[in-house]
Structure formats: C-alpha cells, structure tokens
Amino acid sequence: MKKDPAHFHTVLGLCLISLAACYSEPEIKNDSHTFLTNPFIGRWQTGSEYYEFREDGTGGVSSNLNGPFANDFSYFIWYGQGLGNLPKHNTLITAGGDTTTAGNAEIKQFAFLVNSNGTITCTPQILTPAANGSFTIAPDSAAAAVFNPLGSAANKSFALHNPFIGEWHAAWNGSEHEGSDSTWSYQFRADGTVKTYHHGLHQFENGYLVRGQVLVILGEWRFNDNFGYISSTFTIHDNGNISSDEQDHGGLHWDFTRVDTAEWK
C-alpha cells in the first residue's frame, strides 16, 4: 500500500539495507544525454529541522545546524524531462524506513517549486487509489514546507552508485497494450534518470532511486503521474542479472539482463 505523506518534517527511518555484493559500474556508451542538475544538493533549514541532500542520492535530517546527518532516506527528482507529451511536474520522491521490500518502505511524493529567492517549497502529495490501478493525486497544502538554503546553492548533478546503472534488456509479464511486445530496454544513469523503451511502442524518460532492495520509478507513460510512483522489490542474482516484483500497479514481474548496448527506437 502506498503511504500517504502526513508532513515533510517527519524524520524518515534510519534503516538502510546494504547491498550484499560489490560491483563495478559499466560505462554507458554513445549516450548524448545531458546530466540533470539537482537544486536540492546541499543543506537546508525548514522550521526547527535541518536537511542535507547529497550528490549520491541520500539525505539526512538533524535537529542541529551542523548535524550529524545520518543516512535517513534516498531521493530523486522528476522535472518532466523526456520525450512524451504528458503534463510535466516538478516532483520529489523520498524512500526510507524498512527497505527490505517495497511494501514496507516509507515512500513519499512531493511537488516542489524553486522560488526566485533561492528557497524551495515542497508540498506533500496525497495518493488515493482509483480505477485501473491508477491514483488520484491531491496536494496537502497545509503541510507544505519552505526550505531555506544554508550557503550557496550547489545545483549539481547526482553522482549515484547502484547496481542498476548501465543498459539492460528487460522482460515483463504485463499486457497493458493488446498484442504489445513483452520486451523492454532500460538505461539507468548516474544522474537519477532512466531511459525506457517498450519495444514496438514508445521510448521515454523517467527518474528513479534505489534504496536497500527497493527500486522506485516515476516519469512518463506507464510510470506517469496518473499512477504515481511505481515501486518494486528486487533481487540481484549470482550472474549479475536482476529480477523485480512491483508493489504497485498489478504486481508485475520483471527480469533484467545486463547488456553492453540495448536496443533503442
């Protein structure tokens, strides 16, 4: 079940499940993608709490200006970058708590606005189940928080390290489109974006995060705001390939096979 964010000031759980194995990240070849800049990187104050958003996609909360800032949550942003024509929203997703499974994780979705004075306003989004696995999304305006920067804004790109970075051939057991191909291509990048191609149909962009054994994606087409984020519990196999099972939108199963160069539209 998706967990509706009650207030951004709630400190996310401290549990981070470490990946069991070390890995070397592959080079992404022939990628003309320009890395997405991230306005959150740095330290911020909202109310009596202080937040640190780091380049590696993790963040921490402290009651003290100088920390310490633990590894309380992971995060990514969705700017509406990409190829589709769906509404574009500035979205922040955070994940913390028990991330051994997607069903247990504390996943929260926020709309954000970068203000002209350098502050950022974050408004929790309440996700309510609707028909066909979709959700209605409404702002919890009373819980909006203004983040005041501590120091100059960094506006850097993510520098993520996770086992998904690289290109993948993926197969699923979904059938959203009659007669559609079960084959997909994925390119997970170190800036928190992922290029996605459903073979024979459409190619599009998303944002993603990995925390513990949980993968969260939001963006365009099947990962779009009509569904809210889609979270999965994943397993890394001895051969380096990955399987995952979605917590949301029908509980679909995926098998990811790493490739040097995936097929693109």
pLDDT tens digits along 189-198: 999 999 999 9
- Tell me which residue of 201, 162, 208 sits closest to 185, measured CA to CA: 201
DSSP string, 13-27: P---PPPSS---PPP
Backbone phi, then psi, for 133, in 5-degree steps? Answer: 75, 5
The CA-CA-CA angle for residues 4, 109, 169, to 5°, reads: 115
- Please give the Cα distance from 208 to 78 (Å, whole number): 8
Residue range 37-157, CATH number: 2.40.128
Q: Between 262 and 1, where is the model more confident?
A: 262
User: Does residue 179 have a pLDDT over 60?
Assistant: no
User: Does residue 230 have a pLDDT over 50?
Assistant: yes
Q: What integer pLDDT is reported at residue 32 of this predicted model?
A: 61
Among 2-6, 17-21, 199-203, 261-265, the range scoring the smallest mean pLDDT is 17-21
DSSP string, 78-127: E---SS--SPP--EEEEEEE-TTSTTTEEEEEEEEEE-TTS-EEEEEEEE
Q: Which CATH number fits domain 166-259: 2.40.110.10, 2.40.128.10, 1.25.40.10, 3.60.110.10?
A: 2.40.128.10
Q: Between 144 and 86, where is the model more confident?
A: 144
Average pLDDT over residues 17-32: 39
User: Does residue 220 have a pLDDT over 70?
Assistant: yes
For the stretch 72-124, pLDDT in tens is 999 998 876 654 544 467 899 999 999 999 999 999 999 999 999 999 999 99
Average pLDDT over residues 222-243: 87
Residues of the chain with CATH 2.40.128.10: 166-259
